[in-house]
Amino acid sequence: MIGLFLITHSSYGESLIQCACHVLNTRPAQIAQLGVSGQDDPLDLLPMARRLMSVVDSGEGVLLLTDIFGATPANLALKLCEPDRVEAVAGVNLPMLLRTLTYREREDLHGLVNKAVSGGRDGVMAMKVGRDAKT
C-alpha cells in the first residue's frame, strides 16, 4: 500500500485526517501528518519529516500531500521527493485525500498522483439551487 504523508500549515493536515476518519468510520493505515508553524525552520523539520515519512513507507512509495505550492510546507515536501518513490501534490483538500485513500491499493504511485489531482479538482464545484427550491 502506498503511504500518505500530509505536510501542511498548522493543524490543517490533522484536521483533514480526522474528517477522513469520520467519513470512513476508521483511521486509515499508513498515514501521517506534519504541521508547520510560522516559527518553524524548515531545515530543522527535515529530519523529523524523514522519520515520519519512513513510518508510512512500506516500500511501495509515498505520496506527499501539501496545501499551498511555494509555501514552506510544500518546499519541505519538495526536499523529500524522489522520482518513482516519493511524489508530491499541492492543493490538498478533503476530496483529494478521500480519493487517495480509496485508490492507493489499486494504483501505482504515478496513477495515485493522477487520482489525487483529479479528486481535488473534481471535488470543487459551484452548487446551484433552482428557482423553485424552498429555503
- Check pLDDT > 90 for residue 38: no
Q: What is the pLDDT of residues 87-119, one digit of tens each?
A: 999 999 999 999 999 999 999 999 999 999 999
| 130 inside domain | no
- Check pLDDT > 80 for residue 71: yes
| 69 inside domain | yes
Residue with cell 519541505: 76
| 131 inside domain | no
> Among residues of the chain, what percentage have pLDDT more than 90?
90
Contact 3, 31 (CB under 8 A): yes
- Check pLDDT > 70 for residue 85: yes
* pLDDT value at residue 132: 64
Mean pLDDT of the chain: 95
- Check pLDDT > 80 for residue 17: yes
Total domains, the chain: 1
Residues of the domain holding 27: 3-122
CATH number of the domain that residue 50 is part of: 3.40.50.510
How far, in Å, CA of 108 to CA of 44, rounded? 31
| 128 inside domain | no
| 15 inside domain | yes
Give 35-81 as a DSSP string. Answer: EE-TT--HHHHHHHHHHHHHHH--SS-EEEEESSTTSHHHHHHHHH-
Q: What is the pLDDT of residues 54-70, one digit of tens each?
A: 999 999 999 999 999 99
| 129 inside domain | no
| 135 inside domain | no
| 80 inside domain | yes
